[in-house]
Amino acid sequence: MMNITLKENGPGLDRSNMAYAIVFGCIVVLGLPLNAVSLWTLIRRHSLKSPSAVFMINLALSDLLLVISLPMRVYFYATGSWPLGIMACIWITMLFRNNIRSSSIFITFIGVDRLLAVVYPLRSRHLRSTSNAWKASAFVWIFALVVNVPESINFSKSLYNCSASTCFEFPRCKLLRPPLPYFQSVLVFTMLAVNVVSTAMVSWTLRRHLSDSARVNNKMNVMLVFAMNLIMFIIFFFPLSLALVLKNGKNAIMPTVCLASMNCCLDPLLYYFSLDAFWKKKEDVDSSLARG
């Protein structure tokens, strides 16, 4: 199974495919150093002392896994051929899907952690622990791997039943019906709804308790975290999820795939705003909220 090679009758060297190769190449050039430095900074300087740090480390790891899979997409769209086997195609595809799923969940976890810190500072102290954050992160990875099993089996059957196929594109192949056709779209829409509610609750709390919120350092950065979360979903995750639900063709889906891949280059901004708002003077923020 590992030694079977896909035939090299790729999509051809048209302008759209070269554009995809350029976009994916730019994502690699920007995303690899940004996420590598972010991951190193999170582990080195912040020592896993807060739930947000744990979620951000896992988010950066998810982005790195996506970035290291993109060079083969660049090669495929630049040359129109696939030099690796079916299993490599499956794993690279799964890395992309897992990034969308795990990123949407980890971003939501970051928002929920901030929600608990601002809206329920006292009642949530036992929930907002590093150990609970690690347990939640482990559950996300296990959940993603479990979902990958039926998807990988279905994907491999589709590739082997296809007499002439390439990775990422299947011009003369009718793919088998996926075991979970709307899973990713439902997940993204659900996480988006959670982020919208969290943003509204935090904004309402800060406006209602003006005297309390005035003691929170960098209130603007608090809301910027939630604004970044919503941007990630609305601009990067939502278009692809909508295209999958509508079952649009390649011309509609591929631009959304490129757009979704760009999220790994914007996530470091989320780390910056969260670090500036909550980690530099985290003790002061928590004590102010507790007194309120």
At residue 168's C-alpha, the angle toward residues 165 and 171, to 5°, is: 45
What is the per-residue pLDDT across 145-160, written as a single tens digit (0 to 9) for each? Answer: 998 888 888 777 776 6
The DSSP letter of residue 186 is H
Q: How far, in Å, CA of 211 to CA of 209, rounded?
A: 6
The domain covering 15-291 belongs, at the CATH homologous superfamily level, to Rhodopsin 7-helix transmembrane proteins (1.20.1070.10)
Residue type, 127: L
Q: How far is CA 91 from CA 73, 86, 120, 225, 270, in A?
A: 12, 9, 41, 32, 28
What is the per-residue pLDDT across 113-150, written as a single tens digit (0 to 9) for each? Answer: 989 988 888 888 888 888 999 999 999 999 999 988 88
Q: What pLDDT does 197 receive?
A: 94
Q: What pLDDT does 210 receive?
A: 53
pTM: 0.82
Q: What pLDDT does 120 receive?
A: 87
Q: What pLDDT does 218 receive?
A: 56
Backbone torsion region of residue 80, taken as left when φ is above 0, otherwise alpha when ψ lies between -120 and 50, otherwise beta: left
Please say whether the dihedral angle defined by the alpha carbons of residues 88, 93, 98 and 100, taken in this order, is positive or negative.
Answer: positive
pLDDT at 165 over 60: no
pLDDT at 9 over 50: no
The DSSP letter of residue 217 is T
Residue 108 has a CB neighbour count (10 Å cut-off) of 22
Q: What pLDDT does 55 receive?
A: 92
Residue 25 banded pLDDT, cuts 50, 70, 90: very high
Q: What pLDDT does 132 receive?
A: 93
Average pLDDT of the chain is: 79
Segments making up each domain of the chain, as ranges: 15-291
Q: What pLDDT does 150 receive?
A: 85
25 vs 285, more confident: 25
